[in-house]
Structure 1
Amino acid sequence: MMGNASGSGNLGELDDLYEAIILDHYRNPRNTGPVDSPDIDLEVNNPFCGDEFQIQMKVENDAVSAVGITGRGCAISQASASLLAELVEGKKSGEVRESVSAFRRLLQGVEISAEEREVL
């Protein structure tokens, strides 16, 4: 029984950490505001809940040099946008694809591999 209790405690601590990270990104979003002369300018929305975001990126030497996110949505979508912006800034295009794929799988509740965790 002790093994289960400590295992549950570790899972609870991990949940607390994830909650703290999400709350931090919701309360203090990163990379808000537009990017001057963006190379990439996307509008994304979720018609089911009304989340709407504009994502802009500046790319220099095949790397994301600036990210800007504007829009509105629930706490989870705002935190996710902030996390994603922080995640891709400074990465090369191939690294961005790998990171976004792993991030998407993580948000979907799919267990990710050690290699995928490394790109996050």
Structure 2
Amino acid sequence: MSLGNLSDLYRQLILDHAQHPHHRGELANANQTISLNNPTCGDVVNLSVEINDDQIKDIAFSGDGCSISQASASMMTDLVKGQSTAQAKKEIATFLEMLMGNPDEKDVDDLGDAAILATVVKFPARIKCATLAWKALEQAIGEAEKK
């Protein structure tokens, strides 16, 4: 497959997640809710998480934003639903490192669809868009651990 076709495939996957996001909505049983915004471009993510016994039992997001922020939130929710908070924290760290241009290829492979967002590194203004939901989850886990 040529690099051009691969780039088109990545773009299509991002657009598919943005137009048909997974786990979009609000959770009635959430015990952690975090809202973050990116004032630079107006992205808003509202994250609802049910965390019990150090496990992400359920997760959903709402809000508005660009294709990158919405796709990233969709990919993140797919990845972490059902995981332990320790595993989710590891994946958050991997994702953030990847977008800082310091990926550990072995760990990046564990990110599933979200690994394609590594291409955002080429567009520094879009990094905040891609990391917004991940930082919201990081805060939600931190709040849950305080309790």
Shared fold (TM-score greater than 0.5)? Answer: yes
Per-residue deviation at 1:114? 3.0
Residue identity matched to 2:30: P
Per-residue deviation at 1:33? 0.7
**Count of residues in Structure 1 that have an aligned counterpart in Structure 2:** 111
The alignment status of 1:26 with 2:14, answered yes or no, reads no
Q: Which residue of 1 aligns with 2:52?
A: 60
Using CA pairs under 8 Å that are at least 6 residues apart, name the structure with larger relative contact order, 1 or 2: 2
Q: What is the CA RMSD across the aligned residues, in angstroms?
A: 1.8
Per-residue deviation at 1:95? 0.6
Are the counterparts in 2 of residues 98 and 119 from structure 1 also a CA contact under 8 Å? no
TM-score by length of 1: 0.81
Per-residue deviation at 1:18? 1.8
Q: Which residue of 1 aligns with 2:104?
A: 113
More helix by share: 2
- Looking at structure 2, the residues matched to 60 and 13 of structure 1 have their Cα atoms a distance apart, in angstroms, of 42
SS of residue in 2 equivalent to 1:68? strand
Equivalent residue runs for 1:2-17 within 5 Å? 9=2, 11-17=3-9
Q: Which residue of 1 aligns with 2:80?
A: 88
Structure 2 gaps, min length 5: 112-147
- Looking at structure 2, the residues matched to 105 and 20 of structure 1 have their Cα atoms a distance apart, in angstroms, of 24
Runs of 4+ in 1 over 6 A off after TM superposition: none
- Looking at structure 2, the residues matched to 27 and 105 of structure 1 have their Cα atoms a distance apart, in angstroms, of 26
More strand by share: 1
- Looking at structure 1, the residues matched to 5 and 53 of structure 2 have their Cα atoms a distance apart, in angstroms, of 40
Are the counterparts in 2 of residues 58 and 65 from structure 1 also a CA contact under 8 Å? yes
Q: Which residue of 2 aligns with 1:75?
A: 67
Structure of higher CA gyration radius? 1
> Alignment identity in percent?
31
- Looking at structure 2, the residues matched to 55 and 16 of structure 1 have their Cα atoms a distance apart, in angstroms, of 29
